[in-house]
Structures are given as C-alpha cells and as structure tokens.
Amino acid sequence: MPRSPCSPSCTTVHPDPPVRHNGLVDADVIVIGAGALGLSTALHCAMSGRSVAVVERHTAGSQASGRAAGLFKSIQADDLRTRLARRSITKAVTFADWAGTPLAVTRPGSFLIARTAQHREFLQRELAQSGRWGVDVREATPAKLSYYQPIGDAFALWCPEDVYIEEPLSLIRACLAACQRHGAVVAENEPVIGIAVSAGRVAGVETQHRSITAPVVVDAAGGWVRHVADLAGARVPVATVRHQLLITEPTGQVDPADPIVRVVDAAVYLRPARGGLMVGGFESEPLPVDPRQQPASFTTDDVPLDVDVLRRLAGQVSAEAPAASSAPVAEHRGGLFTMSPDGRFVAGPVPDLPGLWVASGCNGSGFSSSLAIGEALAAWITGDAPAGMTALSPGRFGPLPDDTLISRGLWQYAHYYDPTGLDLD
C-alpha cells in the first residue's frame, strides 16, 4: 500500500489519499479527535490488540493539547485524580519502555507556595491528604530560585515527583509514533460529521470523506466534545472555558533546571521555558467560550486572548518573580478547558447509547492525565471498569441545564488551586 506523511509537522504515515479515504471501512474502535486524550486512548486500545482508527478534523495536537503548559502535578483534590495524575507521570517518564518511542520529560519537581494564612491552611490540608494517598510531598522553606525569590514567611510544599514536557507537541508526536508502531491509523483533516446509530447502539461514524463502521466510538473532541455528542443525540456535561499563558523572551537569568512554581493564593504557575519564563494562571472571572455558538470554522486560533489578564496575574507575583511582569513576551497562547461541574474528568460510556464513550472534562489536567485516562478507558472498553473509574461516568450528574453547567464549570476554573467551599446545591 503506498504511504506518505500527511503534513510536514506530522510524524504519522497515512495511506495515500485515494486509499486513505476509501481503504479504512471498519475498525474495533474509532476515536474522534487526535489530542492528548484521544491519541492516548487510541494507543492503549491498539496495544490491547484492537484495530483503531483516529479521525481528526484538523491536524493532531493542533487544538488544546498543542497549547498546554505541559505541567504534570502530583497533588490533586481527591484520591482518584491523584492516582491518575501519578500514574500519568510514571507513564510519561517511562514512555519509551512501554510505548516503544522516545519522549523527553523534564523532572525538576515543583514548589507549591502560599503567602496568606488561609492558603497556608489549604496547603497543610493538601500535605496531609496527599501524603495519605501516597504522594511524595514535603513541607519546605521556599527556595531562592533563579526566577523566584520568596519574600517574608511564605509557606511551601516541595513536590519532587512533578515534571513537565517542554513543548506539548512532543507528547503528541510520541503518541502518534507509538500509534503507528502499534497499528492505529490516524486520519487528519477529516472531520466527523455524523455518528451512525443502528438498533439502539453506535455503529460507526460518517466523515466528510467516508463511512467507518465500529461498535465503539470514543468522543475525544476536546472543546467540541458536546458538538460531537450532539451528532448522536447524547449530552456531555462540560462547559468550555478560556485559558491562556505566555512565554517571555529569553532573559539570561532563568536557570532551565529550576523547578516549577505554583503560587496558590495568586492562582499563578511559572516554569522555565525556552530560556525565558512561562507564566500562566487562572482568572477569577473566567471567560466561557462555547464553540457550538461560534461559526463552523471556529478553531482554537479564534479563542479571544487578553494579555492584560496574564499581566494582572503576573503582577500579583511581581515582587518575587519580576520577569513574569517585566520581560518582553515571546509567545502568548490559549485555548479551551472542558470544565465539569465537580472538577473531575468525564470519561466512560455514555448512558443510554451503548458503544458511545467520552474522554473529556479535562478541568485543566487533560494533557498531564491523558496517559492514565487513556489506559484506564482502554481497559474499560475492552473489559471491566478499572477501580474507581465509574466515578467519572458521563451520566453522573443527570440532566443539568446549560446555565448550571456553565456556572459550576466557571467556579471550578476560578478555584483551580483552591477547590474549597463548593456548594453543589
């Protein structure tokens, strides 16, 4: 079969167009969306011996996953998320061993810093519970770093397990190469425009080019997850919310070996990046952006960015990290988080429509938890639900009106580093 790469940036080799559009007519599993969650699910299904087709509207990693900060965080708000986050860290640092293709991971650890009494208490609770859940986390005096000089009596936790991937597309490329190695086919520039349902269960997808049949279809369409679910008359309980970060020009002062810093009271994260500093954070009045209400051509490039939001966030740590506010900006990027009402992933089978699965509800951790979520979903699709995973079922909220979904999603976003006090009623 003749084969050729689909684009200069894509490492996957696809059949040449005439074969590609007509050749693949059935699979065991179809994954819609080649972001981190979709590719990981596809890879793990292929590694379980299933025939897998991934269908991507644009190019792999071109939407949220390619914009991520690349941060992996071992401290999470509950036992299940902690397990998934730590499993993902292990899978990332051992990627070549189990997937057979290399992945560069930076392993500098992280500081979580609190500068107020309230946030000190919050971190003390995190220390106690995360320790119980097996995380290696210790109380520490905030260290003086090349880019962050602590002031006063700030409280800190040291999280030696935390890592980052410098350029998020390297995870996508590693997954693409591993998919190819394990026989999963990735078709880019091929939007799914319909989901076939027969005798009350999913039967495959319609793309702009062809029909593909499969008994299992996974909706991993990121910011478009609800749009895709709508094609099958299903509902996914997430709200899409803007998130942004910037990378400064190289400053000559940032030590690339320095750890990640998260200042919880400011809701800001910082890390070395390309010789400069990456600055991201969580605005207290986040912006919901629903792609379903945008023109069909809407992509992540159309998410409205506002550098003033990041400037205000950086201003809160300007005494400790002056470069965050003062260094010239080399890159400003953003995209959409899929936020769920309880801050947990939405992953599992869709109720009332056998064969349709969802991998979504990233709540800002979809990139870093993708390797564990994909592994768990593949195990579930091909067998039983792994321990605890039913807690992430898409049906767990029952019917929720959109305004409730949005208000809860915005709350979760604004409280990313401090998820206390949520009134679910």
Ligand X SMILES: Cc1cc2nc3c(=O)[nH]c(=O)nc-3n(C[C@H](O)[C@H](O)[C@H](O)COP(=O)(O)OP(=O)(O)OC[C@H]3O[C@@H](n4cnc5c(N)ncnc54)[C@H](O)[C@@H]3O)c2cc1C
Task: Kindly state the helix (H) or strand (E) to which residue 247 belongs, with its residue range.
Answer: strand 239-248
Beta-carbon contacts of 319 under 8 Å, excluding residues fewer than 6 positions away, are 151
Nearer to ligand X among residue 348 and residue 364 (C-beta): 364
- Could you give the CA distance from residue 105 to residue 401 in angstroms, rounded to a whole number? 41
Nearer to ligand X among residue 72 and residue 155 (C-beta): 72
Of positions 31, 32, 217, 373, contacts ligand X by CB under 6 A: 32
Q: Quick check: 10 binds ligand X (CB under 6 A)? A: no
Q: Quick check: 71 binds ligand X (CB under 6 A)? A: yes
Q: Quick check: 243 binds ligand X (CB under 6 A)? A: yes
- How near is the Cβ of 279 to ligand X at its closest, in Å? 11
Token pair listed for 11: 């490492």
* Cα-Cα-Cα-Cα dihedral sign, residues 123, 261, 371, 42: positive
Nearer to ligand X among residue 120 and residue 167 (C-beta): 167
Residue 61 near residue 172 (C-beta atoms within 8 A): yes
Of positions 245, 277, 309, 410, contacts ligand X by CB under 6 A: 245
Q: Quick check: 228 binds ligand X (CB under 6 A)? A: yes
Beta-carbon contacts of 139 under 8 Å, excluding residues fewer than 6 positions away, are 127, 155, 156, 157, 158
Q: Quick check: 244 binds ligand X (CB under 6 A)? A: yes
Closest residue by Cα to residue 328 from 263, 252, 264, 255: 252
- Could you give the CA distance from residue 408 to residue 420 in angstroms, rounded to a whole number? 13
Q: Quick check: 224 binds ligand X (CB under 6 A)? A: yes
Contact stretch for ligand X (CB under 6 A) within 27-35, 210-218, 371-379, 412-420: 27-35
Q: Is 189 helix (H, G, I), strand (E, B) or coil?
A: coil
Residue 225 near residue 338 (C-beta atoms within 8 A): yes
- How near is the Cβ of 117 to ligand X at its closest, in Å? 28
- How near is the Cβ of 40 to ligand X at its closest, in Å? 8
Q: Quick check: 355 binds ligand X (CB under 6 A)? A: no
Q: Quick check: 196 binds ligand X (CB under 6 A)? A: no
Q: Is 234 exposed, middle or buried (0-12, 13-18, 19+ CB in 10 A)?
A: buried
- How near is the Cβ of 216 to ligand X at its closest, in Å? 16
What single-letter amino acid sits at 390? T
- Could you give the CA distance from residue 54 to residue 358 in angstroms, rounded to a whole number? 14
Nearer to ligand X among residue 145 and residue 228 (C-beta): 228
Q: Quick check: 148 binds ligand X (CB under 6 A)? A: no
Of positions 50, 67, 83, 182, contacts ligand X by CB under 6 A: 67
Token pair listed for 222: 């990121």
Q: Quick check: 335 binds ligand X (CB under 6 A)? A: yes
Token pair listed for 247: 């990378």
- How near is the Cβ of 286 to ligand X at its closest, in Å? 12
Of positions 142, 204, 334, 349, contacts ligand X by CB under 6 A: 334
Q: Quick check: 362 binds ligand X (CB under 6 A)? A: yes
- Residue 392: C-alpha distances to residues 36, 38, 157, 384 (Å): 18, 16, 28, 14
Site for ligand X in 172-191 (CB under 6 A): 191
Q: Where on the chain is the footprint of ligand X (CB under 6 A)?
A: 32-38, 55-58, 62-65, 67-71, 191-192, 220-224, 228, 243-245, 333-335, 337, 360, 362, 364-368
